[in-house]
Amino acid sequence: MTRAKAIAHALDYFDSGSFKSDLTRLVAMPTESQNPERAPVLTEYLEQEMQPLLESLGFSCRTLNHPKAKGPFLFAERIEAEGLPTIFGYGHGDVIRGLDAQWAEGLSPWTLTERGDRWYGRGVVDNKGQHLINISALKSVLETRGGTLGFNVKYLIEMGEECGSPGLRELCTEQKELFKSDVLIASDGPRLNAERPTIFLGARGGVTFDLTINAREGGHHSGNWGGILSDPAIQLAHAIASITSPTGQIRIHEWVPKELPAAVRKALADCEIDGGPDGPTIDPEWGEPGLSPAEQVFGWCSFDVLAMKSGVPETPVNAVPPSAWARCALRFVVGIDPDDVIPALQRHLKRHGFDMVEVTKARDAVFNATRLDPDDPWVEWALASLQKSTNKKPALLPNLGGGLPNDIFADIVGMRTIWVPHSYPGCSQHAPNEHVPVAIPREALGLMAGLYWDLGESDRPAL
C-alpha cells in the first residue's frame, strides 16, 4: 500500500487501453443538452454509465430533479467515517452541440478517434473525459489501499451545464445540508498549457446582455432619406466604442477592480499563456495597460462584442436600417458587483448621449466571480501533491478566465474550491474537432491518484 503503487495502478489502467475503451462509450452517447430530442440520452448517461461505475466503488446513488433543470442530477456519496474530511466531486455529462457536418473529414463528434498524439470526440475534455479521470483515480486508490480512501466523498453529475446549469443553483440551495462538504476538488476547463499541471481556485463571473436601437418601422431608401434619418448602426457603433478605448481598455469604472491583489499578482508571476501551435497570436497592445497576458485573463475584466447585426447582412440593400442589435459580454473578477453591471452601463450610455440604446440581459443565469484565497493551506497542499506526482511545478491560477458554476459551491454550499483541469487551451471544446493530447489524460490519472492518496494521509491540512 504505497502512493507510488496507486499512481502505477492508475497508469496501468490507461496503458492497458481500458481508459480509452471506457471513454469511447461515453463519447458515443450524444448528450446534447441544447437539443430537446436528446433528453432521453441525458438520463441514459447517468443510469447506464455513471451510476453503475460509482456503485461499483461503494457509492450510494440517487437521482435528483428540479423543474428548472434540463436533465436529471446524479448524487452519489461514500461515507467512511465521521470526523474524516468530506470531498465534493462535480462533473457534467452533457456536451455542446455536436456540429457533426463541420468536423474534419473522417472525424465524428460521437466516435473517439485517435490521430497522431490526439484523441478526437465531443466530450473528451468537456467534460466526460475529465470526470472519468477523477472517478477512475478514486478507483485506483481504493484498490491499492485495501478498499478504503481515508476520507468521505460526495459526487454530483449534472446534465445541463452547457445550457448554463439551469436548476443547479436552486437544487444546491434546497439540498445544502445533503451536499455539505469541506473541499470541492473537481475538474473542468483547460490547464495553463498542455505540458503544465494546473490548479485554479474559482472562476470569473459573466454577464451577457443585448444592446438594441429600434429607431422606426422599416427601412427607408438611403438616396431619399440618407442624411436626415438617424442610422441605428452608426449610433450603436459609437455607443459600443464609448465602452472601451480603441485598444480595449474598459472605460466604465464599475466594471473593473480597483487594483490587482498582491496574492493574485504573485500567483500569476510565472504563468505564461500558450495555446500551442494551433492557438491564436496574442495582441500585446490590447486590454488594460501594464498587465501581463495572464493578469489580463485571470486577474482582470474583459468586455467583448459577441455578435452584431443591422439591416440584412446576407442581402444588403440601399436603405437606412430601422434597427441595430449587438450581443455583448462582460467577464468579471471578484470585487465587481454583478447586480450593478447593467445599471452602470445604462448610466454610462446616458452620460454619453446614447439614451436611445436599450440594454437587456440576454439570459437570467449569471455565474458570480469566485476565488479561494491563494494563501489557503489547502492550496499549498494541493500544489505540493501535483508537483510530487509529476516532478513539474504546477501553475496556480487564482480563477479560470471562463465561467463555471463555482459560486454555487463556494457561496451557497459553502466550501473551499480547488479545480484541477485535464485539458489545454487549444482543445476546441465548443467547436468542431474537440480533442485532447493523449499525454494529458495519462498524466492526469497519475496526479489525481496521487492527490486522492494524499487526502487519505494524516498530514493533510486541518479543516
Give the residue extent of every domain in the chain: 3-203+369-455, 205-257+301-361
Confidence band, pLDDT 50/70/90 cuts, at residue 3? very high
Q: Given its phi and psi angles, is residue 57 left (phi above 0), alpha (psi -120 to 50 degrees) or beta? A: alpha
Residue 334 has pLDDT above 70, yes or no: yes
Whole-number pLDDT of residue 189: 94
Whole-number pLDDT of residue 304: 97
Residue 76 has pLDDT above 80, yes or no: yes
Whole-number pLDDT of residue 332: 97
Instruction: Look at strands 118-120 and 113-115 and give their pairing.
Output: antiparallel
pLDDT per position as a tens digit, 174-190 = 999 999 999 999 999 99
What does the pLDDT average to over 123-133?
98
Give phi and psi for 211, each to the nearest 5: -110, 125
Whole-number pLDDT of residue 164: 87
- CATH number belonging to domain 3-203+369-455: 3.40.630.10
**360 Cβ contact list (under 8 Å, min separation 6):** 209, 210, 212
DSSP state of 244: B
Residue 324 has pLDDT above 90, yes or no: yes
Cell representation of residue 67: 423543474
Residue 275 has pLDDT above 80, yes or no: no
Give the 3-state secondary structure of residue 40.
Answer: helix
**86 Cβ contact list (under 8 Å, min separation 6):** 79, 151, 152, 153, 154, 180, 181, 182
**Which architecture, in CATH terms, is 205-257+301-361?**
2-Layer Sandwich (3.30)
Contact indicator for 164, 99 with CB cutoff of 8 Å: no
Whole-number pLDDT of residue 237: 98
What does the pLDDT average to over 373-381?
95
Instruction: Enumerate the H helices of 180-329 as residue ranges.
Output: 222-225, 232-241, 262-268, 293-299
The proportion of the chain whose per-residue pLDDT surpasses 90, expressed as a percent, equals 94
The proportion of the chain whose per-residue pLDDT surpasses 70, expressed as a percent, equals 100
Give the 3-state secondary structure of residue 396.
Answer: strand
Residue 106 has pLDDT above 80, yes or no: yes
pTM score, whole prediction: 0.92
What does the pLDDT average to over 71-88?
97
What does the pLDDT average to over 273-280?
80
What does the pLDDT average to over 431-443?
98
Instruction: List, in sequence order, every beta strand (DSSP E) within 161-296.
Output: 183-186, 198-200, 202-203, 205-214, 220-221
Contact indicator for 365, 166 with CB cutoff of 8 Å: yes
Instruction: Enumerate the H helices of 325-375 as residue ranges.
Output: 341-351
Residue 367 has pLDDT above 80, yes or no: no
DSSP state of 79: -
Residue 276 has pLDDT above 70, yes or no: yes
What does the pLDDT average to over 203-217?
96
What does the pLDDT average to over 297-324?
96
Confidence band, pLDDT 50/70/90 cuts, at residue 1? confident
Q: Please state, rounded to an integer, the average pLDDT across all residues of the chain.
A: 96
Whole-number pLDDT of residue 364: 67
Whole-number pLDDT of residue 84: 96
What does the pLDDT average to over 373-402?
96
Which residue, 94, 68, 75, is CA-closest to 180? 75
Confidence band, pLDDT 50/70/90 cuts, at residue 463? confident
Same fold, 3-203+369-455 and 205-257+301-361: no
Confidence band, pLDDT 50/70/90 cuts, at residue 100? very high
- Whole-number Cα distances in Å, 8 to 16, 56, 301, 446: 12, 21, 42, 7
Whole-number pLDDT of residue 365: 66
What does the pLDDT average to over 273-296?
89
What does the pLDDT average to over 22-26?
98
Residue 366 has pLDDT above 80, yes or no: no
